[in-house]
């Protein structure tokens, strides 16, 4: 494939490439998903233990879980520490996953870039890719915290500006439109920042073997410029987020009014939730693989010329 043809790559080609990678490396997709599901499951188990130790003998909690708002508030008032502990268990799991992601994303990018064949080679590529970029991804995350601060400022200012209209909204559009307008700056900046971080990671994976002087700061600056110049990168990432949000809201909407009690209900609910998470994870994996496709079209960073004394 010539460089000129590669530069014309569009969202469709990125999605197709991502889909091809995801369907070719189903073992990798499922493997990483299982790790994620186990971590989330462990957090859920911990939360269940905390709540169970406080409420397993208190039938009022059964009513709270079954949709009695008053009972829920009463239970929170009765044992606030149990709910705080549950919250922090969830937060800890998310933070742990963020750290793990610095390794796992490197592995996914490496597999999507090198396209190894065979389980053993794929596992070697995944592990080596994740390990070789882990530290530079950590440095990237530290640098990107400044950009996250910008997103937070945009969020606070945007919501502050929308607060007055939202406080007096009479209709759902009257509530949601100011909310979305208020969130829009943070969403736009956030998607831009997160996409740039993704492309910085992708470039670090793709170019590190040949450009070992490429550091986190330079990769991030290059990615910020690249994403600003190539709207296709932003559109592709935004599409992924849109699918994520639509799928999640669709589940919330469909789940209303279905208590799904009993053993059969619990198993059905578990399967539905796992399926939904897997779909969202597949979308995310497809987006990451598509980003590699676009990154490979990027001109490599200039090499430092080292004059050798004769």
Torsion (CA) 171, 247, 38, 95 in degrees, nearest 10: -50
In whole angstroms, what is the distance from residue 78 CA to residue 284 CA? 40
Taking CB under 8 A as the rule, which mask of x and - marks residues 168-207 in contact with other proteins? xxxxx-xx--------------------------------
Q: Is 150 in the site for other proteins (CB under 8 A)?
A: no
Q: Is 118 in the site for other proteins (CB under 8 A)?
A: no
Looking at beta carbons only, is 88 or 217 nearer to other proteins? Answer: 88
Looking at beta carbons only, is 225 or 259 nearer to other proteins? Answer: 259
In whole angstroms, what is the distance from residue 200 CA to residue 211 CA? 13
Q: Is 243 in the site for other proteins (CB under 8 A)?
A: no
Residue whose token pair is 């997709």: 29
Q: Which of 1, 5, 8, 57 binds other proteins (CB under 8 A)?
A: 57
Greatest C-alpha distance within the chain: 85
Q: Is 123 in the site for other proteins (CB under 8 A)?
A: no
Q: Give the relative orientation of helices 262-295 and 26-55 as an angle to the nearest 10 degrees.
A: 140
Measured at the CA of 67, the angle between CA 62 and CA 73, to 5 degrees, comes to 80
**Token code pair at residue 120:** 């053993």
Task: Return the residues of window 69-88 that contact other proteins according to CB under 8 A.
Answer: 69-70, 73-75, 77-79, 86
Looking at beta carbons only, is 6 or 39 nearer to other proteins? Answer: 39
Looking at beta carbons only, is 221 or 246 nearer to other proteins? Answer: 246
Measured at the CA of 268, the angle between CA 273 and CA 257, to 5 degrees, comes to 80
Q: Quick check: helix, strand or coil at residue 299?
A: coil
User: Binding segment for other proteins among 16-24, 46-54, 112-120, 216-224 (CB under 8 A)?
Assistant: 46-54
In whole angstroms, what is the distance from residue 48 CA to residue 5 CA? 54
- The residues binding other proteins (CB under 8 A) are 32, 36-37, 39-41, 43-49, 51-52, 55-62, 64-70, 73-75, 77-79, 86, 90, 93-94, 97-98, 100-101, 104-105, 108, 167-172, 174-175, 244, 248, 256-257, 259, 266, 269-270, 273, 277, 280-281, 284, 288
């Amino acid at each position: 494939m010539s460089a000129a043809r590669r530069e014309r790559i569009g969202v469709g080609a990125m999605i197709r490439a991502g889909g091809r990678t995801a369907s070719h490396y189903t073992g990798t997709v499922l493997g990483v998903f299982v790790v994620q599901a186990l971590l989330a499951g462990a957090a859920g188990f911990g939360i269940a233990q905390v709540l169970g130790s406080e409420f397993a003998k208190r039938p009022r909690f059964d009513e709270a879980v079954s949709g009695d708002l008053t009972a829920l508030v009463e239970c929170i008032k009765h044992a606030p520490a149990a709910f705080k502990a549950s919250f922090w268990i969830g937060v800890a799991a998310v933070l742990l996953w963020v750290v793990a992601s610095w390794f796992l994303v490197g592995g996914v990018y490496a597999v999507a870039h090198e396209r190894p064949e065979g389980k053993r080679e794929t596992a070697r590529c995944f592990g080596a890719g994740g390990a070789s970029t882990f530290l530079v991804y950590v440095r990237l995350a530290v640098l990107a915290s400044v950009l996250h601060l910008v997103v937070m400022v945009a969020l606070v200012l945007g919501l502050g500006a929308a607060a007055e209209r939202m406080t007096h909204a009479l209709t759902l559009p009257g509530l949601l439109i100011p909310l979305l307008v208020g969130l829009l700056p943070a969403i736009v900046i956030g998607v831009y920042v997160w996409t740039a971080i993704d492309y910085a990671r992708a470039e670090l994976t793709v170019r590190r073997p040949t450009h070992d002087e490429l550091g986190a700061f330079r990769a991030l600056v290059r990615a910020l410029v690249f994403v600003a110049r190539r709207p296709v990168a932003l559109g592709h990432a935004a599409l992924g987020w849109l699918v994520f949000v639509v799928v999640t809201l669709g589940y919330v909407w469909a789940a209303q009014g279905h208590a799904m009690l009993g053993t059969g209900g619990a198993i059905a609910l578990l399967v539905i939730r796992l399926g939904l998470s897997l779909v969202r994870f597949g979308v995310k994996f497809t987006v990451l693989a598509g980003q590699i496709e676009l990154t490979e079209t990027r001109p490599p960073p200039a090499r430092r010329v080292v004059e050798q004394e004769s």
